[in-house]
A and B are shown apart, each in its own frame.
Chain A
Amino acid sequence: MDATMAGLPGSGVQPGHIGDAKPVGRIADLVFVGLLWGCGIFVLVLLGLIIAMLFEGGLPAFSAFGLDFLWTATWNPVTEKFGALVMIYGTIFSAIIAVIVALPLSFGIAFFLTEIAPQVMRRPIGVAVQLLAAVPSIIYGMWGFFIISPLMAAYVQPPLIDWLGPIPVIGALFTGPALGGGMLTAGLIMAVMILPFITAMFVETLESVPPMLKESAYGVGGTTFEVYKNVSVPYGKTAMVGAVMLGLGRALGETMAVTFVIGNATRLSASLFAPGATIASTIANEFPEAAQGSLKLDSLLALGFILFVISFIVLALSRFLVRSNLKS
């Protein structure tokens, strides 16, 4: 500090002192660079430790049940027989529902904001979308539980069960009692939660499309839809895939809101309306009552490790897709 102060103009110090300050500045710079290295390494170490901790904690479960842990559908704390299949299925299934619902909506909002919306409306809608991301997860959970679930039970599920239930194959998705909660409701709530993230990245991408490209397309007589489909979307395809994958990643780990609405049953069911469980919801439900050193706690940590692996695969896949898109 003193060294740099000393060299400041107007501090009444001879200019020759600036040269003297240099070695100290170099040391400060080294310290600074070292700190930056530390920050970078810290992330790696932290990540490594978390993976190691989850794996080590889950190891007793993996060694007790072997790889069967991955495809056993039992979760019985009384007999201490644990398997992850129901949760893995629920995690992936509900996240995919969320993405399927959120994707078209995000496209619509993003394109509306960048192309159609009059200038006065852009800010309010943009801010509203961003605010959706600021709503705490538990609020979504309560909204889902107290508002959406009863609406689903009264107006959405019964007609769907009546109309689509009897159809062979697809009908299996629409069977069972109308409980309000379940896989579909969880997916819908999560769709709203990941919507702002996907939309924000879409908007950014669409705004980065060079105006010249779009104007030329309009110039040769393209309609709004044609410009959207043939110019804007192809231009930002890579970033959009990344955005969807990030949304999927967020949906996979969502905990509180899902726990409220998914019905929390550790039974396997094909129906969209049947109660299920995700990895995160099971951990949230069972963790406080899992005794130290119990196989249940080990199994929960093993579940955490599996969630980590799934998230990692999704991220890696998104990277791979983005990269292959860049090459083409």
Chain B
Amino acid sequence: MSLNDPNSASATHASSPNDRSEQIRLAKTPAEVTAAINPSTKRRLWITLSFPLALLFAVPFWWYVTSIERLPLPESRISALENATLPSIRPKILFTADIDAFPPPPPGRAQFEHKVILQTLAEEVSRGVDGIYVQRRPKKERGWDIVYDDDKKNPTPLRMHIRRWEHANTSWPLEPYVQASESGLMTSGLEEGTLVIPIHPSQIGDRFLKQHYKIAIINSLLGLYPPDPPEIPLRALKYSPNITLSFVLLNEDASEGSYVRSWDIESAIKEHFLPHIEPLAPIFNFTIESQLLYQAPLTFEPTYQSTDRADNERTIEATVEMAKNSEEDVQAIAKEIADEQVQKAWLIDEEQMKVFVNSERWSLDSGSTNNPVLRFLLYVPAAKHRPMRLASPNSAQSFLLPQFGGVALLNPPSSTPSSQTYRLPLSALTPSFHLFTQHLYSLLALPPIPDKIHPSPPPTPLHAPSGLIQPITRWQVHQVLLARMKENSEEARKTLVGIVRLVEKIKEMKVGEGVRGKVIGAVERLEQLSSNQSALEMFVLTRDAVNLANQAFFDHSMMGLLYFPDEHKFAVYTPLFAPIAVPIILGLIKELLAERKRRAAKRQPSKVPTDVLTEQVEVTGPVAKKIEVEAEKVPVADTVLLETSGGSVESESTAVEGRSLRSRSKR
């Protein structure tokens, strides 16, 4: 550090160091020299202030760089949604009838128009249903209207028809059914999914025909279109657009022989599952996988004991009934009873059912997707564990595991030799898959077809009636849509409210454009819901809303990857900021004090000190006074260049020396 340094920053910046040294040389008194080489007070203050000012100007940049982006969320819209109720929809039910389903008017009476007859009937039905709902506690409301002409542009899926049919039951009451899909030459000509009230031609003349119609229609509609959509029970899966169904046949131990080595799974799925899941395509996207396990040991040993006595008694009663009917077999049946009574089985009690599925050891699904999986397990016990039964009072052969799937036991006949292997044809799988279908309804919260609705009859009596569960109807799909729509919209609202609360609570959480867009998308979709949309349109909106809300909730960008606690930041910044802050603050304090002193001196002009040094150098306290005094005492003395900072005096000594010598010689 040379003397030129302070000089260059001094007042007359236009002048070169040479000029200044000239000035100094020309200066006669120490005060003049001091004034010549030092900047003015104002300039000095500016220099001192420039550092904090620079830091101050850097603050916006620092703020911009370190701040967390938190875009505003539409909080008021979300809270409005939170309290809003789901708009109710009133679908239209198209009501038609065969032209000759009503008796011709007696001669002389006016012939009413077909539509008018339907209208009066429908009005009575609506009134009847309303009357029933009014009596319910809490009160319910009818969720549909009956129309007589279809809207060509968007036809309603729900239809109702009175069919005059020669194969209908001739007795009362009427037996309404929902038309199943038909194929072949002989079809009813009715659209699949129509609620049909069949009437035999002989019944049309009945006096109470209208009452019969009314009762049949009211009963069917009460069952098919309940006032509230079905609840989603806890055992059912939460809504997810993609669902995997995994069918697994488990042999307890194939290495001991007598095991199932193949099964006709494709036909079983085609016959028992596809009719029920294909109509659900707008709601769920299913994938199916199946596998066969040859080794699936149990983790526990079932107990070998006789089956439930109550069960036996029932069988005895049943056989007694049978014996009554067929006299000649009494002997054989009596023997069978005796056998039944001593029959023992490997029983699985309720506790064991809970641990039955060993999902760690049995690979029950491929795990190739993140979809929720429903597993349907068909368990074939090893020969040493046959017959295996569930120790349940109603001798069920299957049990349901909530949110997981269903298990059915399959005991191969005991008569076959042990070395034998089996191939299960469709007929052998039917009972189990019948149960699996029921499990599917239960696990997906699909409403079963109401008891009042009869199974769809075959097109003609020539066909054998199907023993299968009737495929899911439009009426049921409609209820599923309503139930899932309700579930989704509640879920979406809950998630949105959760996001708002979370963002409010955690101040460091980032809310970027992506998250905001997703939240707004979800809010918009929920706001778009209105009662003049179809159930499917509304369902799609809520499905997308819940999807977007979940995406926003689980967005990665919301959690900062690097999170430093405040202590950490202080620990890193302090070594930098503390040493910088000290000279800045001290410098400012000094300048301020000097300024105050100058002002005080100006106010009392009588006391203006003659010595420039004491005025300019910020010397405080008794030391300053002493120097002042000494200066007065000794008017002319050797002068020494003073440096305000204490550092590196030694190194400067030679330079200072030259100056001071020169200045002295000048004098």
Do these two chains interact? Answer: no
